[in-house]
Amino acid sequence: MKKLSIILACVLVILAACTKENGVQPPEGAIDGLFTINDNGDQVYFSQGNLQYQASTNTWRFAENQWDFVGDSVWGTVYENGDKCDNSQISSDYGGWIDLFGWGTSGWNNGNTYYHPWNYEMDDSQDHGFGYGPTDGSNYAFDLTDNYVYSDWGVYNAISNGGNRRHQWRTLTSDEWVYVFNIRSTLSGIRYLKANVNSINGLVLLPDNWNDSTFCLCDVNNEEALFNSNVLGAADWNVLEKAGAVFFPAAGGRYKNIVSEEGTFCNYWSSTHLHRDGANCMGFAEGYVFPNGNTTRNYGRAVRLVQDAQ
């Protein structure tokens, strides 16, 4: 009987360590918050940070912190282990990290000219947005789904600190971005807000079960709000993150190998095409939030992956 009691106690300890308050352990590399993405009630977890890539080792990872972004040599994050980051150095053998990608550049050959994560165009005289994303040679009206799902960064690639297996992560569709920001019902009625987190401007998305007594927040659900509407230090953000909040840093954008607008603007890709040379994205800056925005496919934009909740 004593042995049985000891075994039972050990089991209970293991169960307690492996379950959260909601009874489900979030996936490796995910923020512990659930977000409804459609009228069916399907939910997702967001990754712990923006997607990053190192060409010299063909390695994918999530940023260590939600506020981290690469930028260029001025803004670039340098981690404690010495990892260098600079989107302007994008190339097939760059040993640092990049986090701004052309649309559908997962590394899978989708039939188009540019499909590697390090691809960019050096010819200043032409705009080849239609060179990105899936095509059968004449038709460019394909999403990063179905027969072309491997064009999605999270489906085709193993994320080293996100489970390290393929088929675990994916990119939200344009309709799902719209639902998350504008349609879903939440416990508090709050869905998003602008903020400055640990001295980085960006956008905060709150989970379905966010309790407004957790932290006092200002100017919520207001696309015209300014970043300094909510100024949150590292300790403040720790409270929000533990409650499931997701932060999208204003990581700027890249055109060819030129990076700009860090700290003031960002577009995050969707998996949905718009037309021959454009695709939909979630975009924001001071004064606006566009869950169904769009941009040219050859521009380097940020990627934030999700994992479907089981």
pLDDT single digits (tens) 70-124: 998 666 555 545 677 899 999 999 999 999 999 999 999 999 999 999 999 876 6
Quote the tokens at residue 146: 């179905």
- Indicate whether 22 pLDDT > 70: no
pLDDT single digits (tens) 203-258: 999 999 999 999 999 999 999 999 999 999 999 999 999 999 999 999 999 999 99
Q: Give me the chain's average pLDDT, please.
A: 90
| 302: region left, alpha or beta (phi > 0 left; psi from -120 to 50 alpha) | beta
CB within 8 A of 38, min separation 6: which ones?
175, 176, 179
φ/ψ of 186, rounded to 5, equals -130, 160
- Indicate whether 17 pLDDT > 50: no
- Answering whether pTM is above 0.95, one says no
**Of 52-56, 126-130, 202-206, 234-238, which gets the smallest average pLDDT?**
126-130
